Amino acid sequence: METRGWKQLFLLFGLAAVLFLAACGSSGEAEETEGTASESEETSGAGNSDDALIVYTNSNSDGRGEWIVEEAEKAGFNIEIVGAGGGDVTNRLISEKANPVADVVFGLNHMFFEQLQAEDILIPYAPAWADEVEEGINDADSYYHGLVKQALILSYNPEFVKEADAPESYLELANDEAFKGIYQARDDLGSATAKVIVASILAQFADPEGELGISDEGWETIERYYANGVQIPEGEDYFTMFASGDAPIGTMISGELAAKMEQYDTEPAFIHPEVGTPQVVESIAIVNGTEQEEKAQEFVDWFGSSDVQGAFAAEFNAMPANKEAEGQITDFQSEIFADVKPQEIDWEFVTENIDAWVEKLELEIF
């Protein structure tokens, strides 16, 4: 009986080996890459294979990743995409600092890029298209450059909230009891969206004398904002709650809107606060320690160019930061951005303090 058991086990083991080989072989087009990659793993352990450019991003969902790989191949680049959430990508880059796997990183917003720059993860490179990008978006020291603009627009669902009853700003949500329990106050502070909203509120109360650079009034406001708002439970989608009326006032992300609206058949009405609407820019940068710096530069030059960004914008309803790509912006995006006035936020001040703010919110306010 034992021998039979062992035979089974060996059989399974053999099966696993076959599966593994199959897994290695199944990506026919990149066979050579795989070969070199596994060789280099065995010997030096460095992930940088000779020809594939490793690209980290948080912007590969909904077919974007596949699209980029395909288009890059047409342009002669062999790239591999590693996708994860913005925070995870940042942490992974930081923990791999001494032996980087990635060559290029894109899609993160400037809060993450500031953190990476501070950790010495990036090397500066001014791509050919740097001047085509709207002013004030690129890093002054050329560490990262803007690709896609996202506006985080406060909105309400007209099915459940009358225009006359709609709030004017985040501050009104916090200060007027009438909105208690009907607006979304996202507390997943690991996510970029929630952090930007916190920054948008707190930055209005900057006070050098106050705790962590924020006045007492600011802290009281954000405390009320979270106490009266509805949190999105794990596994729930903010747009589902917005569409179903569970929390019909919330923050929409411009780049996701088209797909969400179609899916839920819900049309949000936008609110344009006097202070403006927070905007973030997804950027691109080259990773310090890449063994293929030249190729990485070529890739950045190609990917950020007005042609590629324009095609990307047309395909995925994005808002390119490259002004030359404006011709290809979908009507939907231009309409959204037509009325949006960007909020003036001192990002240097925010990136310096955001971790401490999050810590205070988590420990004392939530």
Site for another protein in 114-143 (CB under 8 A): 115, 119
Query: Contact at 8 Å (CB) between 125 and 286?
Result: yes
Name every residue whose Cβ is closer than 8 Å to that of residue 138 and which is 6 or more positions away in sequence: 130, 144, 145, 146, 283
In the complex, least distance from residue 67 CB atom to another protein, rounded to whole angstroms:
12
Please state the closest distance from residue 322 (CB atom) to another protein, in A. Answer: 21
Residue with the two structure tokens 């917003």:
109
Q: Does 212 interact with another protein (rule: CB under 8 A)?
A: no
Residue from 32, 70, 73, 88 binding another protein (CB under 8 A): 88
Give 102 or 201: the residue with its C-beta nearer to another protein.
102
Q: Does 26 bind another protein (CB under 8 A)?
A: yes
Residues 266 to 285: which contact another protein by CB under 8 A? none
For residue 48, the minimal CB distance to another protein (Å) is 8
Residue 1 binds to another protein (criterion: CB under 8 A): yes
First vs last C-alpha separation in the chain: 59
Query: Is residue 233 within the footprint of another protein (CB under 8 A)?
Result: yes
H/E run at residue 113: helix 110-118
Out of 51, 67, 75, 97, which residue is the one contacting another protein (CB under 8 A)? 97
Reduced to 3 states, what is the DSSP secondary structure of residue 209?
strand
Shortest separation between residue 147's beta carbon and another protein, angstroms: 15
Rounded to the nearest 10 degrees, the angle between the axes of helix 192-202 and helix 110-118 is 90
Beta 249-253 vs 145-156: how paired, if at all? antiparallel
The region of 94-102, 161-169, 303-311, 329-337 touching another protein under the rule CB under 8 A is 94-102
What's the min distance (Å) between Cβ of 62 and another protein? Answer: 5
| Residue-by-residue DSSP string for 234-301 | TT--HHHHHHHTSS-EEEEEHHHHHHHHHHHT--PEE---TT-B-EEEEEEEEETT-S-HHHHHHHHH
Residues numbered 294-353 forming contacts with another protein, rule: CB under 8 A? none
- Which CB sits closer to another protein, 14 or 136? 14
The count of residues interacting with another protein (CB under 8 A) is: 84
Question: Measured from the CB atom, is 126 or 261 closer to another protein?
Answer: 261
Write the single-letter amino acid at 22.
A
Subset of residues 53 to 82 that bind another protein, contact rule: CB under 8 A: 54, 58-63, 65-66, 80, 82
Is 264 a binding residue for another protein by CB under 8 A? The answer is yes
- What 3-state class would DSSP assign to 189? coil
Region near another protein per CB under 8 A, out of 18-26, 129-137, 199-207, 340-348: 18-26
Residue 188 identity = D
What the block records as the tokens of 138 is: 């690129």
